[in-house]
Amino acid sequence: MTAQQSRTADADSETDAILSVQDLRKSFGGITAVDGVSFEIEPGSITGLIGPNGAGKSTTFNLISGAYTPDSGTIVFDGTDITGYRPDRVATRGLVRSFQIARELPEMSVLENVMLAPQHQLGETLYRSVLPGFRSGVETQERELRERAWETLEFFEIDHLATENAGNLSGGQRKLLEMARVLMTDPEMILLDEPLAGVNPTLEQKLIERLHELKADGYTFLFVEHDMDIVMNNCDPIIVMHQGQKLAEGAPETIKEDDRVLEAYLGGEVEQ
Ligand SMILES: Nc1ncnc2c1ncn2[C@@H]1O[C@H](COP(=O)(O)OP(=O)(O)O)[C@@H](O)[C@H]1O
Ligand SMILES: [Mg+2]
């Protein structure tokens, strides 16, 4: 693609992108982990972010979620330049990275963990709503929070575990709890970094079905996953990173047939 075409494409999608990353760079000492990456994410998509180990995927997530500050480049979410925002401020805007939010408290019940998630992710704003209320307003808030927590547990089919200590859940059940906690923070877009690692096939299927339902409801996902079948069957479009750069971007069928992508995964030389 020529620079002219690239600019035109950017201009076309600029109006409806929910997330726009432009020329993002981040180095650690001598290693350039992210080397001038640009992409745009359409609202309501499950966009895959793939690439061999060390390609820069997690660093890209850390930059978007505010865990790292970029050396240069810009991150615009929902029309707001969030470059350099701290993670809690990014989350308050509606862009939440799962599997990085405060870990569940193993000694507390599943229900309590879900009810506390907004406080953990978003700061003190909702804290009072989970304290025993002295005023009726606080009691109403707590009841609403509790109802939403139950609905969210039912959605992920872990409501039968509500009174169980979170520490007793299986690895897969904890992933479902994690997703439930993310949803309680009321996000618009969710960054998923290998959410299916260690999840058994039954729960994996359940989680993927939930992702598609949430997508249909208008949620947006950026999804790092190493299982190529899962990516090809569930993500569209797919962005491929290699050595800190964006190597390719497109529909699964296109990415599947891209020789450069194949070479990158096989560790071969890649023509720039
Ligand atoms: N905090 C860090 N300090 C030093 N080097 C890092 C750090 N984070 C990532 N890197 C390096 O940046 C490169 C990209 O890593 P990463 O983003 O984790 O890739 P991926 O998630 O695609 O496997 C790697 O060479 C990695 O060693
Ligand atoms: Mg990684």
- Tell me: the pLDDT tens digits for 141-156? 788 889 999 999 999 9
Which tens digit of pLDDT belongs to each residue from 62-86? Answer: 999 999 999 999 999 999 999 999 9
* CA angle in degrees (0–180, nearest 5) for 59-63-66: 135
Q: How far is it, in rounded angstroms, from Cα 230 to Cα 234?
A: 6
61 lines ligand 1 (CB under 6 A): no
Which of 28-37, 76-85, 193-202, 218-227 is predicted least confidently?
Answer: 193-202
pLDDT of residue 104: 72
pLDDT for 6 equals 43
Q: Which of 47-61, 86-100, 191-205, 257-271 has the lowest mean pLDDT?
A: 257-271
Res. 18: pLDDT tops 50: yes
> Cα 194 to chain center, whole Å?
9
Residue type, 44: G
What integer is the mean pLDDT of 50-56?
95
pLDDT tier at 5, thresholds 50, 70, 90: very low
Output the residue whose Cα is nearest ligand 1's atom 16: 56
Q: Which of 24, 25, 26, 28 to mutate to test the pocket of ligand 1 (most atoms within 8 A of CB)?
A: 28
Burial class (CB in 10 A: 0-12, 13-18, 19+), 229: exposed
The pLDDT, as a whole number, for residue 1 is 41
Q: Where residue 126 falls among pLDDT bands split at 50, 70, 90?
A: very low
Ligand 2: distance of its center to the CA of 51 in Å? 9
Q: Which atom, in ligand 1's list, is nearest to the CA of 244? A: 14
And the tokens for 247?
């190597």
- Using pLDDT thresholds of 50, 70 and 90, give the confidence band for residue 129: very low
Contact yes or no for 205/236 (Cβ under 8 A): no
In terms of C-beta density within 10 A (0-12 exposed, 13-18 middle, 19 or more buried), how is residue 243 classed? middle
Q: Probe ligand 1: pick from 25, 27, 31, max atoms within 8 Å of CB?
A: 31
User: What is the set of domains in the chain, with CATH numbers?
Assistant: 1-101+187-272 (3.40.50.300), 106-184 (no CATH)
* Residue 30 CB less than 6 A away from ligand 1: no
Residue with CA nearest ligand 1 atom 5: 28
Q: For residue 162, with 0-12 CB atoms within 10 Å meaning exposed, 13-18 middle and 19 or more buried, which class applies?
A: middle
Residue 65, amino acid = S
Residue 268: what pLDDT? Answer: 53
| C-alpha of residue 60 to centroid of ligand 2, in Å | 9
For residue 253, what are its two tokens? 């069928």
pLDDT, position 240: 97
Q: In sequence order, what are the beta bridge partners of 189?
A: 95, 220
Positive or negative torsion for Cα 229, 234, 237, 242: negative
Scanning 93-131, the segments in alpha helix (DSSP H) are 110-122
Beta strands per DSSP E along the chain: 19-28, 31-41, 46-50, 72-77, 80-81, 95-97, 189-193, 220-224, 238-242, 245-250
CA-derived radius of gyration, the chain? 20
- Tell me what the mean pLDDT of segment 178-204 comes to: 89
Q: Is the pLDDT score of 2 beyond 50? A: no
Mean pLDDT check: name the lowest of 11-15, 120-124, 156-160, 178-182.
11-15
Among protein residues, the one with the nearest Cα to ligand 1's atom 13 is: 33
**CA-closest candidate to residue 41, choices 194, 183, 192, 155:** 192
